C-alpha cells in the first residue's frame, strides 16, 4: 500500500472513532416543544420537572406542599402574546399568596400550575387582595383589601393586582393625598402609566354594578368622575368623613394594614410611595 493510501486509511479510521465517541458520550438534547403543546408541556420541557401537584393539593396544604411553597418551588404560570409569565406563590402567617405575574420563566425544578386553575379555585364572591407599600428604599407593610362582589371596578382591581392582562399596580406610585389631615382624607393611586395622576386607563368597563356609599376610613373606591384615561385609579380613605362626607363608588374595604396607608399619607412626599408588590390571597 502506498504512503498516501495508508494516510487516508488512518484518517478514515480516526474520523469513525470520533463519531462513535460523540454518539456514545454526547447527551441527546431535549426535543423542541411542539407549537401546539400546552403551556404546561412547554414549562415541563424547559425545567425537566413533571407537574406533580394540583390546585386541590395546593389548597389542602399538606406538610409536603407547605414545604414546597416555603422553599419557593411553586409558581402559577400564564401564556399570552407576551410569552410565558409566572407568579410566585408564597406562604405568610398561614395565608397563601399568588403574587403579581411577571415576564419571566419559573426557576428550574419548580412545580407549576396554570393561573386560570389557581384563580378558579378561589371564591369570586369574597376576593381578598393585597398591596405592599414602600418608601425610603424598604417595604413598610402589607394592606389587605376585601373586594365587594358583583362590581366591575372590583373585578378590574383584582386583575390589576394579579397582572393577568399584562399591566398591574406593581411598581406604581401613589400620586396624591386629598384633604390631608382633615376628615375624609384619602390617598390616590393606580396610574400604572406613570403620568403623575393623568394616566391609568381602565382595562375593563367599570360602569354599572351596585356600588356602596361610605364615609368610613378604609373604604376603597374609584373616581366616579374619572374619564376612561384614568379609570384604573383608586382611592383609599384614611380618615372617617364627617357631616356631608359620603363617598360613592365604594368597591372594597381595607381589612388590615390601614395604618400602613395612613403612614403613607403622612409621608413628606406621597409620590415617593410605591406599590412594591400586589397579588391575591388564595386561602381566603
- Domains of the chain (ranges; CATH) run 39-120 (no CATH), 128-281 (2.40.100.10)
Roughly how many angstroms between the first and final C-alpha of the chain, as a whole number?
86
221 CA to centre of own chain:
21
The pLDDT of residue 243: 73
User: Strand 111-114 vs strand 74-80: parallel, antiparallel, or unpaired?
Assistant: parallel
In whole angstroms, give the CA distance from residue 118 to residue 281: 11
All three cell numbers of 277, joined, read 408588590
In whole angstroms, give the CA distance from residue 25 to residue 16: 15
For the chain, which residues score pLDDT lower than 50? 1-7, 10, 13-14, 17-18, 20-31, 47-51
In whole angstroms, give the CA distance from residue 24 to residue 184: 75
135 CA to centre of own chain:
20
Judged on CB neighbours under 10 Å (0-12, 13-18, 19+), 278 is buried
Dihedral, CA of residue 20, residue 22, residue 26 and residue 31, to nearest 10: -80
Task: Give tens-digit pLDDT for 14-47.
Answer: 455 445 444 444 444 444 555 556 666 555 555 4
Task: Give tens-digit pLDDT for 159-184.
Answer: 999 999 999 999 999 999 999 999 99
Amino acid at each position: 500500500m502506498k504512503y498516501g493510501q495508508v494516510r487516508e486509511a488512518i484518517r478514515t479510521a480516526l474520523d469513525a472513532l470520533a463519531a462513535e465517541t460523540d454518539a456514545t458520550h454526547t447527551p441527546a438534547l431535549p426535543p423542541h416543544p411542539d407549537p401546539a403543546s400546552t403551556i404546561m408541556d412547554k414549562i415541563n420541557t424547559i425545567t425537566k420537572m413533571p407537574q406533580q401537584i394540583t390546585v386541590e393539593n395546593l389548597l389542602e396544604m399538606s406538610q409536603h406542599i407547605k414545604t414546597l411553597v416555603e422553599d419557593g418551588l411553586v409558581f402559577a404560570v400564564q401564556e399570552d402574546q407576551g410569552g410565558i409569565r409566572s407568579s410566585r406563590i408564597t406562604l405568610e402567617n398561614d395565608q397563601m399568596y399568588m403574587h403579581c405575574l411577571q415576564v419571566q420563566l419559573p426557576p428550574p425544578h419548580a412545580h407549576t400550575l396554570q393561573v386560570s386553575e389557581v384563580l378558579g379555585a378561589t371564591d369570586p364572591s369574597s376576593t381578598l387582595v393585597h398591596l405592599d407599600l414602600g418608601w425610603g428604599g424598604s417595604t413598610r407593610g402589607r394592606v389587605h383589601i376585601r373586594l365587594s362582589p358583583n362590581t366591575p371596578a372590583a373585578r378590574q382591581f383584582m386583575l390589576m393586582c394579579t397582572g393577568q392582562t399584562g399591566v398591574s399596580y406593581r411598581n406604581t406610585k401613589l400620586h396624591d393625598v386629598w384633604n390631608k389631615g382633615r376628615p375624609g382624607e384619602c390617598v390616590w393611586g393606580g396610574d400604572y402609566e406613570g403620568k403623575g395622576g393623568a394616566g391609568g386607563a381602565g382595562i375593563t368597563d367599570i360602569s354599572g354594578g351596585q356600588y356602596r356609599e361610605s364615609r368610613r376610613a378604609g373604604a376603597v373606591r374609584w373616581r366616579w368622575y374619572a374619564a376612561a384615561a384614568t379609570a384604573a385609579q383608586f382611592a383609599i380613605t384614611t380618615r372617617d368623613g364627617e357631616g356631608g362626607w359620603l363617598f360613592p363608588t365604594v368597591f372594597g374595604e381595607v381589612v388590615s394594614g390601614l395604618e400602613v396607608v395612613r403612614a403613607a399619607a403622612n409621608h413628606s412626599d406621597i409620590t415617593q410611595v410605591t406599590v412594591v408588590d400586589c397579588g391575591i390571597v388564595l386561602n381566603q
